[in-house]
Chains A and B, each alone.
Chain A
Amino acid sequence: MALMPLVIAGGMAKGYLEDVAEKKAKLAQIEAIKTEWLLNTGLAKIEKRREQRKAAQARISTATRLGFDEKAAIALEASGELSSVITRVEKLIEDPEKDVSTSSIKKMSQAILDNVPQDRLAKAVEYALDLGAAEEMTAEKLINTIFSTSDESEKFAAVADISTGTDMPSIKPTGINLIGLTDLSPEKTQKVRNLIEDRLKDSLGRTLTKDGYVWDNPGAANTIIEKALTYYIEQRADPFLDKDLADITTDISDKVQYLIGEGIPLNTIADQYEFSLKPTEFDYTPTTSPTQQTTPIAPPSSIIDENYQD
Protein backbone atom coordinates (compact mmCIF):
# COMPACT_ATOMS: atom_id res chain seq x y z
CA MET A 1 0.00 0.00 0.00
CA ALA A 2 2.89 2.38 0.80
CA LEU A 3 4.15 1.87 -2.69
CA MET A 4 1.23 3.70 -4.30
CA PRO A 5 2.24 7.27 -3.41
CA LEU A 6 5.72 6.54 -4.70
CA VAL A 7 4.30 5.28 -7.98
CA ILE A 8 2.14 8.37 -8.30
CA ALA A 9 5.08 10.64 -7.43
CA GLY A 10 7.29 8.77 -9.88
CA GLY A 11 4.69 9.10 -12.59
CA MET A 12 4.39 12.82 -11.93
CA ALA A 13 8.17 13.25 -11.97
CA LYS A 14 8.37 11.36 -15.25
CA GLY A 15 5.60 13.49 -16.70
CA TYR A 16 7.35 16.64 -15.54
CA LEU A 17 10.69 15.57 -17.00
CA GLU A 18 9.06 14.64 -20.30
CA ASP A 19 7.29 17.97 -20.34
CA VAL A 20 10.51 19.86 -19.63
CA ALA A 21 12.39 17.86 -22.25
CA GLU A 22 9.70 18.67 -24.79
CA LYS A 23 9.90 22.36 -23.96
CA LYS A 24 13.66 22.34 -24.14
CA ALA A 25 13.42 20.74 -27.55
CA LYS A 26 11.02 23.46 -28.66
CA LEU A 27 13.37 26.09 -27.30
CA ALA A 28 16.29 24.55 -29.17
CA GLN A 29 14.19 24.64 -32.32
CA ILE A 30 13.39 28.34 -31.77
CA GLU A 31 17.05 29.06 -31.13
CA ALA A 32 18.03 27.22 -34.32
CA ILE A 33 15.54 29.18 -36.43
CA LYS A 34 16.74 32.45 -34.94
CA THR A 35 20.44 31.65 -35.43
CA GLU A 36 19.85 30.50 -38.99
CA TRP A 37 18.02 33.71 -39.82
CA LEU A 38 20.66 35.84 -38.16
CA LEU A 39 23.49 34.19 -40.04
CA ASN A 40 21.79 33.95 -43.41
CA THR A 41 19.76 37.14 -43.54
CA GLY A 42 19.59 39.07 -40.32
CA LEU A 43 23.16 40.25 -39.94
CA ALA A 44 23.32 41.37 -43.56
CA LYS A 45 19.98 43.13 -43.15
CA ILE A 46 21.15 44.94 -40.04
CA GLU A 47 24.37 45.93 -41.75
CA LYS A 48 22.42 47.17 -44.78
CA ARG A 49 20.16 49.29 -42.59
CA ARG A 50 23.20 50.73 -40.81
CA GLU A 51 24.79 51.58 -44.13
CA GLN A 52 21.58 53.24 -45.31
CA ARG A 53 21.52 55.40 -42.19
CA LYS A 54 25.18 56.26 -42.56
CA ALA A 55 24.65 57.11 -46.23
CA ALA A 56 21.76 59.39 -45.33
CA GLN A 57 23.87 61.12 -42.69
CA ALA A 58 26.73 61.47 -45.19
CA ARG A 59 24.38 63.03 -47.74
CA ILE A 60 23.19 65.55 -45.19
CA SER A 61 26.80 66.37 -44.30
CA THR A 62 27.66 66.84 -47.99
CA ALA A 63 24.68 69.10 -48.49
CA THR A 64 25.63 71.26 -45.50
CA ARG A 65 29.18 71.44 -46.85
CA LEU A 66 27.76 72.67 -50.15
CA GLY A 67 26.05 75.46 -48.25
CA PHE A 68 22.59 74.07 -47.62
CA ASP A 69 21.03 74.69 -44.26
CA GLU A 70 21.14 71.49 -42.24
CA LYS A 71 17.40 71.41 -41.73
CA ALA A 72 16.75 72.01 -45.41
CA ALA A 73 19.08 69.12 -46.21
CA ILE A 74 17.15 66.95 -43.78
CA ALA A 75 13.88 67.98 -45.37
CA LEU A 76 15.25 67.08 -48.80
CA GLU A 77 16.52 63.76 -47.45
CA ALA A 78 13.10 63.05 -46.00
CA SER A 79 11.52 63.77 -49.36
CA GLY A 80 14.03 61.48 -51.10
CA GLU A 81 15.46 64.30 -53.20
CA LEU A 82 18.76 64.99 -51.48
CA SER A 83 20.83 62.52 -53.45
CA SER A 84 19.80 63.91 -56.84
CA VAL A 85 20.06 67.49 -55.56
CA ILE A 86 23.66 66.93 -54.42
CA THR A 87 24.60 65.35 -57.74
CA ARG A 88 23.09 68.21 -59.70
CA VAL A 89 24.54 70.95 -57.49
CA GLU A 90 27.99 69.35 -57.71
CA LYS A 91 27.68 69.28 -61.50
CA LEU A 92 26.68 72.94 -61.49
CA ILE A 93 29.68 73.80 -59.31
CA GLU A 94 32.02 71.89 -61.60
CA ASP A 95 30.65 73.63 -64.67
CA PRO A 96 32.87 76.68 -65.31
CA GLU A 97 30.06 78.40 -67.19
CA LYS A 98 27.70 78.21 -64.22
CA ASP A 99 28.23 80.52 -61.31
CA VAL A 100 26.70 78.92 -58.21
CA SER A 101 26.51 81.44 -55.41
CA THR A 102 26.40 80.64 -51.70
CA SER A 103 23.72 83.24 -51.18
CA SER A 104 21.51 81.47 -53.71
CA ILE A 105 21.97 78.17 -51.88
CA LYS A 106 21.09 79.86 -48.58
CA LYS A 107 18.05 81.47 -50.18
CA MET A 108 16.99 78.12 -51.56
CA SER A 109 17.48 76.45 -48.17
CA GLN A 110 15.16 78.97 -46.61
CA ALA A 111 12.65 78.50 -49.40
CA ILE A 112 12.74 74.73 -48.89
CA LEU A 113 12.08 75.14 -45.20
CA ASP A 114 9.29 77.59 -45.91
CA ASN A 115 7.84 75.14 -48.38
CA VAL A 116 7.77 72.24 -45.95
CA PRO A 117 4.25 72.17 -44.50
CA GLN A 118 4.39 73.72 -41.10
CA ASP A 119 2.32 71.05 -39.46
CA ARG A 120 3.38 68.68 -36.79
CA LEU A 121 4.53 66.06 -39.24
CA ALA A 122 7.07 68.35 -40.82
CA LYS A 123 8.25 69.48 -37.44
CA ALA A 124 8.57 65.87 -36.36
CA VAL A 125 10.58 64.90 -39.39
CA GLU A 126 12.73 67.95 -39.02
CA TYR A 127 13.29 67.31 -35.35
CA ALA A 128 13.71 63.57 -35.50
CA LEU A 129 16.18 63.67 -38.34
CA ASP A 130 17.98 66.69 -37.00
CA LEU A 131 19.31 64.64 -34.16
CA GLY A 132 21.84 62.73 -36.15
CA ALA A 133 22.32 64.88 -39.17
CA ALA A 134 25.99 65.67 -39.22
CA GLU A 135 27.47 62.82 -37.30
CA GLU A 136 26.50 59.31 -36.49
CA MET A 137 23.61 59.22 -34.13
CA THR A 138 24.03 57.20 -31.00
CA ALA A 139 21.26 56.19 -28.71
CA GLU A 140 22.76 58.28 -25.96
CA LYS A 141 22.96 61.34 -28.16
CA LEU A 142 19.40 60.86 -29.28
CA ILE A 143 18.11 60.62 -25.76
CA ASN A 144 20.22 63.42 -24.38
CA THR A 145 19.24 65.74 -27.19
CA ILE A 146 15.59 65.02 -26.68
CA PHE A 147 15.73 65.56 -22.95
CA SER A 148 17.87 68.64 -23.07
CA THR A 149 14.95 70.53 -24.59
CA SER A 150 12.63 72.52 -22.43
CA ASP A 151 9.37 71.77 -24.19
CA GLU A 152 9.55 68.02 -23.82
CA SER A 153 5.88 67.30 -24.12
CA GLU A 154 5.72 69.12 -27.43
CA LYS A 155 8.76 67.29 -28.74
CA PHE A 156 7.32 63.97 -27.67
CA ALA A 157 4.01 64.73 -29.25
CA ALA A 158 5.65 65.82 -32.45
CA VAL A 159 7.95 62.85 -32.75
CA ALA A 160 5.31 60.43 -31.60
CA ASP A 161 3.13 61.68 -34.40
CA ILE A 162 5.58 60.34 -36.95
CA SER A 163 4.28 56.85 -37.18
CA THR A 164 0.93 56.73 -35.51
CA GLY A 165 -0.62 56.54 -38.93
CA THR A 166 0.04 53.89 -41.53
CA ASP A 167 1.95 56.14 -43.88
CA MET A 168 5.65 56.73 -43.80
CA PRO A 169 6.44 60.12 -42.35
CA SER A 170 7.80 61.87 -45.30
CA ILE A 171 7.84 65.24 -46.89
CA LYS A 172 6.39 65.40 -50.34
CA PRO A 173 8.99 66.02 -53.01
CA THR A 174 9.71 69.70 -53.00
CA GLY A 175 10.56 69.73 -56.72
CA ILE A 176 13.23 72.36 -56.30
CA ASN A 177 14.59 74.28 -59.26
CA LEU A 178 18.35 74.07 -59.08
CA ILE A 179 18.91 76.52 -61.94
CA GLY A 180 17.86 79.12 -59.39
CA LEU A 181 21.17 78.52 -57.63
CA THR A 182 23.09 80.01 -60.50
CA ASP A 183 23.44 83.71 -61.21
CA LEU A 184 22.57 85.09 -64.63
CA SER A 185 25.65 86.70 -66.17
CA PRO A 186 25.28 90.06 -68.04
CA GLU A 187 25.87 88.24 -71.34
CA LYS A 188 23.15 85.74 -70.60
CA THR A 189 20.83 88.49 -69.40
CA GLN A 190 21.30 90.20 -72.76
CA LYS A 191 20.54 86.93 -74.54
CA VAL A 192 17.33 86.58 -72.55
CA ARG A 193 16.43 90.17 -73.37
CA ASN A 194 16.95 89.50 -77.08
CA LEU A 195 14.81 86.42 -76.80
CA ILE A 196 11.98 88.34 -75.14
CA GLU A 197 12.22 91.12 -77.73
CA ASP A 198 12.00 88.52 -80.46
CA ARG A 199 8.94 86.91 -78.89
CA LEU A 200 7.19 90.28 -78.48
CA LYS A 201 8.15 91.89 -81.76
CA ASP A 202 4.80 91.30 -83.44
CA SER A 203 2.71 92.25 -80.43
CA LEU A 204 4.64 95.43 -79.64
CA GLY A 205 5.24 96.41 -83.26
CA ARG A 206 8.79 96.45 -84.56
CA THR A 207 9.97 97.45 -88.01
CA LEU A 208 13.29 97.07 -89.73
CA THR A 209 14.84 100.33 -90.91
CA LYS A 210 18.24 101.18 -92.32
CA ASP A 211 19.32 101.86 -88.72
CA GLY A 212 18.13 98.48 -87.50
CA TYR A 213 14.96 97.49 -85.66
CA VAL A 214 12.79 100.29 -84.39
CA TRP A 215 9.80 99.94 -82.07
CA ASP A 216 6.60 101.67 -83.11
CA ASN A 217 6.19 102.91 -79.51
CA PRO A 218 9.75 102.73 -78.13
CA GLY A 219 8.92 104.08 -74.65
CA ALA A 220 6.16 101.59 -73.94
CA ALA A 221 7.94 98.72 -75.68
CA ASN A 222 11.15 99.18 -73.69
CA THR A 223 9.25 99.45 -70.39
CA ILE A 224 7.30 96.28 -71.15
CA ILE A 225 10.50 94.44 -72.14
CA GLU A 226 12.25 95.59 -68.96
CA LYS A 227 9.34 94.39 -66.84
CA ALA A 228 9.26 91.12 -68.75
CA LEU A 229 12.98 90.64 -68.17
CA THR A 230 12.61 91.29 -64.44
CA TYR A 231 9.75 88.79 -64.34
CA TYR A 232 11.88 86.22 -66.19
CA ILE A 233 14.77 86.64 -63.73
CA GLU A 234 12.44 86.38 -60.73
CA GLN A 235 10.81 83.27 -62.14
CA ARG A 236 14.16 81.70 -62.94
CA ALA A 237 15.34 82.23 -59.37
CA ASP A 238 12.16 80.74 -57.91
CA PRO A 239 13.34 77.65 -55.98
CA PHE A 240 10.10 75.88 -56.80
CA LEU A 241 9.68 76.82 -60.43
CA ASP A 242 7.67 74.00 -61.93
CA LYS A 243 8.10 74.81 -65.62
CA ASP A 244 10.83 75.08 -68.22
CA LEU A 245 12.59 78.38 -68.75
CA ALA A 246 11.18 78.46 -72.30
CA ASP A 247 7.72 78.43 -70.75
CA ILE A 248 8.46 81.74 -69.03
CA THR A 249 8.99 83.56 -72.33
CA THR A 250 5.87 81.88 -73.74
CA ASP A 251 4.00 83.03 -70.65
CA ILE A 252 5.24 86.62 -71.17
CA SER A 253 4.29 86.56 -74.84
CA ASP A 254 0.82 85.11 -74.12
CA LYS A 255 0.12 87.75 -71.50
CA VAL A 256 1.08 90.64 -73.78
CA GLN A 257 -0.95 89.21 -76.65
CA TYR A 258 -4.00 88.80 -74.43
CA LEU A 259 -3.80 92.37 -73.13
CA ILE A 260 -3.37 93.83 -76.60
CA GLY A 261 -6.20 91.61 -77.84
CA GLU A 262 -8.38 93.17 -75.14
CA GLY A 263 -7.70 96.54 -76.69
CA ILE A 264 -5.57 97.83 -73.84
CA PRO A 265 -3.15 100.49 -75.11
CA LEU A 266 0.57 99.76 -74.93
CA ASN A 267 1.17 102.78 -72.68
CA THR A 268 -1.31 101.44 -70.15
CA ILE A 269 0.29 97.98 -70.23
CA ALA A 270 3.73 99.54 -69.81
CA ASP A 271 2.69 101.78 -66.94
CA GLN A 272 0.34 99.58 -64.98
CA TYR A 273 0.74 95.90 -65.78
CA GLU A 274 3.02 93.58 -63.80
CA PHE A 275 3.76 90.17 -65.31
CA SER A 276 3.19 88.36 -62.04
CA LEU A 277 -0.49 89.27 -62.44
CA LYS A 278 -2.90 87.19 -64.49
CA PRO A 279 -3.96 89.29 -67.48
CA THR A 280 -7.61 88.43 -66.81
CA GLU A 281 -7.26 90.08 -63.40
CA PHE A 282 -5.64 93.24 -64.74
CA ASP A 283 -7.66 96.17 -63.48
CA TYR A 284 -6.38 99.33 -65.13
CA THR A 285 -7.08 103.01 -65.45
CA PRO A 286 -6.97 104.20 -69.07
CA THR A 287 -3.99 106.49 -69.56
CA THR A 288 -5.00 107.67 -73.03
CA SER A 289 -8.44 109.14 -73.83
CA PRO A 290 -10.68 106.68 -75.59
CA THR A 291 -11.34 107.21 -79.26
CA GLN A 292 -14.09 109.80 -79.81
CA GLN A 293 -17.23 108.13 -81.02
CA THR A 294 -18.24 109.43 -84.39
CA THR A 295 -21.83 108.23 -84.19
CA PRO A 296 -23.82 109.58 -81.26
CA ILE A 297 -25.68 106.97 -79.32
CA ALA A 298 -29.36 107.36 -79.79
CA PRO A 299 -32.09 105.86 -77.62
CA PRO A 300 -33.86 102.83 -79.17
CA SER A 301 -37.13 104.72 -79.32
CA SER A 302 -35.63 107.27 -81.72
CA ILE A 303 -34.48 104.46 -84.06
CA ILE A 304 -37.99 103.07 -84.08
CA ASP A 305 -39.33 106.56 -84.80
CA GLU A 306 -36.89 106.91 -87.69
CA ASN A 307 -38.08 103.59 -89.17
CA TYR A 308 -41.68 104.69 -88.97
CA GLN A 309 -40.81 107.92 -90.75
CA ASP A 310 -39.45 105.88 -93.69
Chain B
Amino acid sequence: MVMDGPIPGQSLTREPRNAAYERPPEITDPNDAILWHLSKLSDPEKLDNLLFTLEYGLPVKHATQAALTLAVAKGVHNIDVSLVIAPVIHKFITKTAEQAGIDFMEDFDNSDREAEDEKNKVKMLIDKAMAETPQEERDTGYQMLGEMAEATPEIDVEQETQGEVEPEVQELAAEVDKPTAQRGLMARG
Protein backbone atom coordinates (compact mmCIF):
# COMPACT_ATOMS: atom_id res chain seq x y z
CA MET B 1 0.00 0.00 0.00
CA VAL B 2 1.35 3.42 -0.93
CA MET B 3 1.12 5.91 1.94
CA ASP B 4 1.57 9.15 0.09
CA GLY B 5 -1.49 11.01 1.31
CA PRO B 6 -1.39 13.97 3.67
CA ILE B 7 -0.87 13.33 7.36
CA PRO B 8 -4.03 14.02 9.40
CA GLY B 9 -3.93 17.67 10.42
CA GLN B 10 -1.32 18.58 7.82
CA SER B 11 -3.54 21.31 6.37
CA LEU B 12 -3.50 23.06 9.74
CA THR B 13 0.25 23.55 9.50
CA ARG B 14 -0.10 25.85 6.49
CA GLU B 15 -0.72 29.58 6.63
CA PRO B 16 -4.50 30.14 6.72
CA ARG B 17 -5.97 31.81 3.61
CA ASN B 18 -2.79 31.14 1.72
CA ALA B 19 -4.51 29.51 -1.22
CA ALA B 20 -6.74 31.59 -3.46
CA TYR B 21 -9.71 29.31 -2.89
CA GLU B 22 -9.45 29.81 0.88
CA ARG B 23 -10.23 33.50 0.51
CA PRO B 24 -13.65 34.96 -0.39
CA PRO B 25 -14.15 34.64 -4.14
CA GLU B 26 -13.78 37.68 -6.34
CA ILE B 27 -17.14 37.07 -8.04
CA THR B 28 -20.26 35.86 -6.32
CA ASP B 29 -22.88 36.73 -8.93
CA PRO B 30 -23.19 33.82 -11.41
CA ASN B 31 -23.98 36.25 -14.25
CA ASP B 32 -20.79 38.16 -13.57
CA ALA B 33 -18.93 34.86 -13.48
CA ILE B 34 -20.37 33.98 -16.89
CA LEU B 35 -19.22 37.29 -18.30
CA TRP B 36 -15.79 36.81 -16.75
CA HIS B 37 -15.40 33.39 -18.38
CA LEU B 38 -16.81 34.43 -21.73
CA SER B 39 -14.59 37.48 -21.95
CA LYS B 40 -11.56 35.31 -21.14
CA LEU B 41 -12.49 32.60 -23.62
CA SER B 42 -13.28 35.14 -26.34
CA ASP B 43 -9.91 36.79 -26.07
CA PRO B 44 -8.37 36.04 -29.50
CA GLU B 45 -5.08 34.96 -27.89
CA LYS B 46 -6.93 32.35 -25.85
CA LEU B 47 -9.73 31.45 -28.22
CA ASP B 48 -7.41 29.97 -30.85
CA ASN B 49 -5.77 27.71 -28.27
CA LEU B 50 -9.14 26.60 -26.97
CA LEU B 51 -10.37 25.77 -30.47
CA PHE B 52 -7.20 23.88 -31.39
CA THR B 53 -7.52 21.86 -28.20
CA LEU B 54 -11.08 20.93 -29.16
CA GLU B 55 -9.84 20.00 -32.61
CA TYR B 56 -7.23 17.71 -31.06
CA GLY B 57 -10.02 15.84 -29.33
CA LEU B 58 -10.64 17.47 -25.97
CA PRO B 59 -14.40 17.21 -25.40
CA VAL B 60 -16.33 20.39 -24.67
CA LYS B 61 -17.40 18.92 -21.35
CA HIS B 62 -13.81 18.62 -20.17
CA ALA B 63 -12.79 21.98 -21.59
CA THR B 64 -15.63 23.50 -19.58
CA GLN B 65 -14.63 21.61 -16.45
CA ALA B 66 -11.01 22.70 -16.87
CA ALA B 67 -11.97 26.37 -17.28
CA LEU B 68 -14.23 26.27 -14.22
CA THR B 69 -11.74 24.39 -12.07
CA LEU B 70 -9.03 26.87 -12.99
CA ALA B 71 -11.26 29.79 -11.99
CA VAL B 72 -12.03 28.16 -8.64
CA ALA B 73 -8.34 27.46 -8.02
CA LYS B 74 -7.57 31.11 -8.75
CA GLY B 75 -10.27 32.25 -6.35
CA VAL B 76 -12.38 33.90 -9.04
CA HIS B 77 -15.57 32.14 -7.97
CA ASN B 78 -16.52 29.19 -5.83
CA ILE B 79 -17.67 25.69 -6.77
CA ASP B 80 -21.33 26.55 -6.26
CA VAL B 81 -21.10 29.21 -8.94
CA SER B 82 -19.29 26.69 -11.16
CA LEU B 83 -22.26 24.35 -10.93
CA VAL B 84 -24.70 27.11 -11.81
CA ILE B 85 -22.80 28.50 -14.78
CA ALA B 86 -21.42 25.25 -16.24
CA PRO B 87 -24.25 24.75 -18.80
CA VAL B 88 -23.82 28.31 -20.08
CA ILE B 89 -20.06 27.98 -20.49
CA HIS B 90 -20.55 24.59 -22.15
CA LYS B 91 -23.05 26.10 -24.57
CA PHE B 92 -20.75 29.00 -25.37
CA ILE B 93 -17.82 26.70 -26.16
CA THR B 94 -20.04 24.43 -28.26
CA LYS B 95 -21.43 27.34 -30.22
CA THR B 96 -17.99 28.82 -30.81
CA ALA B 97 -16.65 25.47 -32.02
CA GLU B 98 -19.60 25.19 -34.40
CA GLN B 99 -18.96 28.69 -35.69
CA ALA B 100 -15.34 27.76 -36.29
CA GLY B 101 -16.34 24.61 -38.15
CA ILE B 102 -14.55 22.32 -35.72
CA ASP B 103 -15.46 18.66 -35.55
CA PHE B 104 -15.59 18.56 -31.77
CA MET B 105 -16.73 16.02 -29.21
CA GLU B 106 -19.22 16.73 -26.44
CA ASP B 107 -17.78 13.98 -24.26
CA PHE B 108 -15.51 10.97 -24.61
CA ASP B 109 -17.38 8.18 -26.36
CA ASN B 110 -16.37 5.63 -23.83
CA SER B 111 -16.85 7.42 -20.54
CA ASP B 112 -17.05 4.39 -18.29
CA ARG B 113 -13.37 4.61 -17.45
CA GLU B 114 -11.86 5.45 -14.12
CA ALA B 115 -11.90 9.16 -13.29
CA GLU B 116 -8.13 9.12 -12.97
CA ASP B 117 -7.76 7.75 -16.50
CA GLU B 118 -10.09 10.38 -17.82
CA LYS B 119 -8.12 13.16 -16.12
CA ASN B 120 -4.92 11.79 -17.59
CA LYS B 121 -6.53 11.72 -20.98
CA VAL B 122 -7.63 15.35 -20.63
CA LYS B 123 -4.15 16.39 -19.54
CA MET B 124 -2.57 14.51 -22.41
CA LEU B 125 -4.80 16.17 -24.98
CA ILE B 126 -4.14 19.62 -23.56
CA ASP B 127 -0.43 18.84 -23.51
CA LYS B 128 -0.58 17.71 -27.11
CA ALA B 129 -2.32 20.92 -28.15
CA MET B 130 0.39 22.86 -26.31
CA ALA B 131 3.16 20.83 -27.86
CA GLU B 132 1.92 21.55 -31.34
CA THR B 133 1.58 25.27 -30.72
CA PRO B 134 4.18 27.02 -32.85
CA GLN B 135 6.79 28.93 -30.88
CA GLU B 136 5.60 32.30 -32.19
CA GLU B 137 2.06 31.62 -31.02
CA ARG B 138 2.92 30.87 -27.41
CA ASP B 139 0.97 33.72 -25.88
CA THR B 140 -1.46 34.08 -23.01
CA GLY B 141 -3.65 31.40 -24.58
CA TYR B 142 -0.75 28.97 -24.41
CA GLN B 143 -0.28 29.93 -20.76
CA MET B 144 -3.98 29.33 -20.19
CA LEU B 145 -3.63 25.81 -21.58
CA GLY B 146 -0.64 25.26 -19.30
CA GLU B 147 -2.71 26.34 -16.31
CA MET B 148 -5.56 24.10 -17.43
CA ALA B 149 -3.16 21.18 -17.75
CA GLU B 150 -1.91 21.84 -14.23
CA ALA B 151 -5.48 22.03 -12.95
CA THR B 152 -6.52 18.69 -14.47
CA PRO B 153 -5.86 16.64 -11.32
CA GLU B 154 -8.47 18.79 -9.58
CA ILE B 155 -11.11 18.46 -12.29
CA ASP B 156 -14.29 16.72 -11.31
CA VAL B 157 -14.75 14.72 -14.48
CA GLU B 158 -18.04 13.36 -13.27
CA GLN B 159 -19.59 16.81 -13.03
CA GLU B 160 -22.18 17.31 -15.75
CA THR B 161 -21.75 20.53 -17.65
CA GLN B 162 -24.91 20.21 -19.68
CA GLY B 163 -28.43 20.21 -18.38
CA GLU B 164 -31.04 22.48 -16.95
CA VAL B 165 -30.10 26.13 -16.70
CA GLU B 166 -30.64 27.66 -13.28
CA PRO B 167 -33.18 30.51 -13.19
CA GLU B 168 -30.62 33.13 -12.10
CA VAL B 169 -28.62 32.71 -15.30
CA GLN B 170 -31.43 32.04 -17.74
CA GLU B 171 -31.31 35.49 -19.29
CA LEU B 172 -27.65 35.26 -20.27
CA ALA B 173 -28.02 31.59 -21.20
CA ALA B 174 -30.71 32.55 -23.68
CA GLU B 175 -28.41 35.21 -25.16
CA VAL B 176 -25.59 32.70 -25.54
CA ASP B 177 -28.00 30.23 -27.10
CA LYS B 178 -29.14 32.68 -29.78
CA PRO B 179 -28.42 31.23 -33.21
CA THR B 180 -25.59 32.76 -35.15
CA ALA B 181 -26.14 33.55 -38.78
CA GLN B 182 -22.69 32.62 -40.03
CA ARG B 183 -21.24 29.21 -39.32
CA GLY B 184 -17.99 27.64 -40.35
CA LEU B 185 -15.47 28.52 -42.98
CA MET B 186 -17.89 27.95 -45.84
CA ALA B 187 -20.11 30.76 -44.60
CA ARG B 188 -17.41 33.34 -45.15
CA GLY B 189 -17.87 33.92 -48.81
Please report A residues at the B interface, Cβ cutoff 8 Å: 20, 23-24, 26-28, 30-31, 33-35, 37-39, 41-43, 45-47, 49-50, 53, 128, 138-140, 142-143, 146-147, 152-153, 156, 159-160, 162-164, 168-169
Contact = CB atoms under 8 A, between A and B. Distances in A.
B11 to A, nearest CB: 26
A27 B171 CA distance: 11
Contact of B57 (A35, A139, A160): A139
Contacts of B109: 140, 143
B101 interface: yes
Nearest to A21: B171
A168 B35 contact: no
B128 A42 contact: no
Contacts of A146: 121, 124
Interface string B106-132: 001100010001001101110110111
A142 B35 contact: no
A24 B174 CA distance: 10
Given A34-B47, A49-B52, A142 B130 contact: no
B102 A46 contact: yes
Given A27-B175, A152-B117, A43 B127 contact: no
Interface of B: 31-32, 34-35, 38-39, 42, 44, 47-48, 51-52, 55-57, 96, 99-103, 105, 108-109, 113, 117, 120-121, 123-125, 127-128, 130-132, 135, 146, 149, 171-172, 175-176, 180, 182, 184-185, 188
B132 to A, nearest CB: 7
Contact of A35 (B55, B99, B117, B184): B99
18 contacts: A27-B175, A37-B44, A37-B47, A38-B47, A45-B48, A46-B48, A46-B100, A128-B128, A143-B109, A143-B121, A152-B120, A156-B120, A160-B123, A162-B127, A163-B130, A163-B149, A168-B135, A169-B131
B57 A143 contact: yes
Contacts of A38: 47, 96, 99-100
Contacts of A169: 131
B101 A43 contact: yes
A47 B185 CA distance: 9
A160 B124 CA distance: 5
A46 B180 contact: no
B172 A24 contact: yes
Given A30-B39, A160-B120, 15 more contacts: A34-B96, A35-B180, A37-B42, A39-B188, A41-B44, A43-B100, A46-B51, A46-B100, A139-B55, A142-B56, A153-B120, A159-B124, A159-B128, A162-B130, A162-B131
Contact of B124 (A23, A39, A140, A156): A156
A153 B100 CA distance: 34
Contacts of A46: 48, 51-52, 55, 100-102, 185
A163 B123 CA distance: 10
B116 to A, nearest CB: 10
A26 B33 CA distance: 12
Contacts of A26: 35, 39
B59 to A, nearest CB: 9
B131 A168 contact: yes
B175 A28 contact: yes
Contact of B127 (A24, A34, A152, A163): A163
10 smallest beta-carbon distances between A and B, as pairs:
A139-B57, A163-B130, A34-B42, A162-B131, A37-B44, A156-B120, A163-B131, A163-B127, A30-B42, A43-B185
Contacts of A139: 55-57, 103, 105
Which of A38, A41, A43, A143 gathers the greatest number of chain B CB atoms within 10 Å? A38
B130 to A, nearest CB: 4
Nearest to A43: B185
Nearest to A143: B57
